Amino acid sequence: MSEINYQALRELAKQATQGEWVAFISPGKYGTYAVHTPGDNHHGDIVDWPGFDEQKNAENNARYIAAFNPEVVQALLDEREAQSKRIAELEANFTELAAENAAMKLFIRGSCYVFDGEQDEISDAYICATDGGMPQTPATDAFLAEVRAQGVEMLAKNHQSIVNALKGDSLFSDDEYRHAAIVSAAVYFAAELRKGGSQ
């Protein structure tokens, strides 16, 4: 398949008749298979195939063109664009995580040591992680904060479903109040976790 020019496709979709397109199917030996657009006053505003021998292909084509109208094309292009941005964001995050991981491995190999327990004491020269020499890992910290925050949000969602199940006609019951308080605290805590991961 040749390369698709998504921008040209978007421009064509913007210029075409907007709104719902409808397939007009009039089967029979000399039937008509057409596509209506909003405001047309005759069938076949877009396409009009005469049907010889009850051509199923013509009917399928008309239904397909009607279903794949300009609004659908634009919605699919919007979705594709959003996914492309998300993929680029994830790739950038992955690159940062990989770089931090490589720096941490290099630091561990070059600066950290394993003692066998026979030494009387550990020299200050070997206390490496606390002297500021350990590399910073902001992307890793942000990733882990996001994972933790999502876990807390799962807890909030679980307790929210309990609140929804307990809802009655009267004011909050003790159980409702307790679970609602957990939801509120969990949502707040998840936001705080994310802030901590981005600092």
Between these two residues, 173 and 139, which has the higher pLDDT value?
139
> Whole-prediction pTM value?
0.56
Query: What percentage of the chain has pLDDT greater than the value 90?
Result: 31
Place of tokens 């308080």: 181
Between these two residues, 66 and 168, which has the higher pLDDT value?
66
Average pLDDT over residues 36-61: 63
What ranges make up the beta strands (E) of the chain? 22-26, 30-36, 48-52
Q: What is each CA distance from 22 to 41, 48, 53, 77, 192, in whole angstroms?
A: 13, 12, 23, 21, 51
Q: How far apart are CA 174 and CA 177, in angstroms?
A: 5
pLDDT at site 53: 41
- Give 52's pLDDT tier (boundaries 50, 70, 90): very low
- Are 59 and 25 in contact by the 8 Å Cβ rule? The answer is yes
> Count of CB atoms within 10 A of residue 163's CB?
19
List the strands of the sheet with 22-26, edge to edge. 22-26, 30-36, 48-52
Helix (H) or strand (E) holding 7: helix 6-15
Q: How far apart are CA 34 and CA 23, in angstroms?
A: 6
